[in-house]
Amino acid sequence: MFQLVQLMCIISTSTAVVERGFSTMNLLCSPLRSTFTQTKLTHLMLTCIEGLDLNDKTLEELCDAFKNRNQRKIML
Protein backbone atom coordinates (compact mmCIF):
# COMPACT_ATOMS: atom_id res chain seq x y z
CA MET A 1 0.00 0.00 0.00
CA PHE A 2 2.88 2.36 0.82
CA GLN A 3 4.39 1.81 -2.64
CA LEU A 4 1.07 2.72 -4.27
CA VAL A 5 0.96 5.98 -2.32
CA GLN A 6 4.54 6.74 -3.41
CA LEU A 7 3.62 6.10 -7.04
CA MET A 8 0.60 8.40 -6.76
CA CYS A 9 2.90 11.18 -5.54
CA ILE A 10 5.33 10.68 -8.43
CA ILE A 11 2.91 10.27 -11.34
CA SER A 12 1.53 13.57 -12.54
CA THR A 13 -2.21 13.93 -12.81
CA SER A 14 -1.97 16.55 -15.53
CA THR A 15 -0.82 16.33 -19.12
CA ALA A 16 0.71 19.82 -19.06
CA VAL A 17 4.27 18.50 -18.85
CA VAL A 18 3.76 16.21 -21.82
CA GLU A 19 2.07 18.95 -23.83
CA ARG A 20 4.92 21.36 -23.03
CA GLY A 21 7.40 18.74 -24.26
CA PHE A 22 5.56 18.26 -27.55
CA SER A 23 5.26 22.02 -28.01
CA THR A 24 9.00 22.42 -27.52
CA MET A 25 9.70 19.56 -29.92
CA ASN A 26 7.46 21.15 -32.57
CA LEU A 27 9.29 24.46 -32.19
CA LEU A 28 12.68 22.79 -32.55
CA CYS A 29 11.84 20.38 -35.38
CA SER A 30 10.89 22.55 -38.29
CA PRO A 31 11.01 21.06 -41.81
CA LEU A 32 14.41 22.68 -42.33
CA ARG A 33 15.77 21.16 -39.12
CA SER A 34 14.33 17.67 -39.36
CA THR A 35 17.66 15.83 -39.42
CA PHE A 36 18.39 16.01 -35.68
CA THR A 37 19.53 12.80 -34.07
CA GLN A 38 17.56 11.59 -31.06
CA THR A 39 20.38 12.55 -28.70
CA LYS A 40 20.70 16.09 -30.07
CA LEU A 41 16.94 16.59 -29.97
CA THR A 42 16.80 15.36 -26.37
CA HIS A 43 19.59 17.72 -25.30
CA LEU A 44 18.03 20.69 -27.10
CA MET A 45 14.62 19.99 -25.57
CA LEU A 46 16.09 19.73 -22.07
CA THR A 47 17.98 22.97 -22.61
CA CYS A 48 14.84 24.75 -23.82
CA ILE A 49 12.63 23.42 -21.03
CA GLU A 50 15.03 23.48 -18.09
CA GLY A 51 17.33 26.29 -19.23
CA LEU A 52 21.07 26.51 -18.84
CA ASP A 53 22.71 27.11 -15.51
CA LEU A 54 25.59 29.32 -16.58
CA ASN A 55 27.73 31.28 -14.22
CA ASP A 56 29.51 34.45 -15.36
CA LYS A 57 32.84 32.73 -15.99
CA THR A 58 31.29 30.05 -18.22
CA LEU A 59 29.34 32.67 -20.17
CA GLU A 60 32.50 34.72 -20.74
CA GLU A 61 34.37 31.61 -21.94
CA LEU A 62 31.57 30.83 -24.40
CA CYS A 63 31.58 34.40 -25.71
CA ASP A 64 35.36 34.34 -26.14
CA ALA A 65 35.19 31.02 -27.98
CA PHE A 66 32.51 32.43 -30.29
CA LYS A 67 34.59 35.56 -30.98
CA ASN A 68 37.67 33.49 -31.83
CA ARG A 69 35.91 31.32 -34.42
CA ASN A 70 36.75 31.76 -38.07
CA GLN A 71 34.32 33.67 -40.20
CA ARG A 72 32.21 31.21 -42.20
CA LYS A 73 30.24 33.70 -44.23
CA ILE A 74 31.62 34.13 -47.73
CA MET A 75 31.00 37.38 -49.54
CA LEU A 76 30.19 36.77 -53.21
Cα–Cα dist 37/43, whole Å: 10
Give residue-wise pLDDT tens across range 17-69. 788 888 888 888 877 777 888 888 888 888 887 777 666 667 788 778 878 87
Q: What are phi and psi of 6, to 5 degrees?
A: -65, -45
pTM for the whole structure: 0.47
- Quickly count: other Cβ atoms within 10 Å of residue 49's Cβ: 12
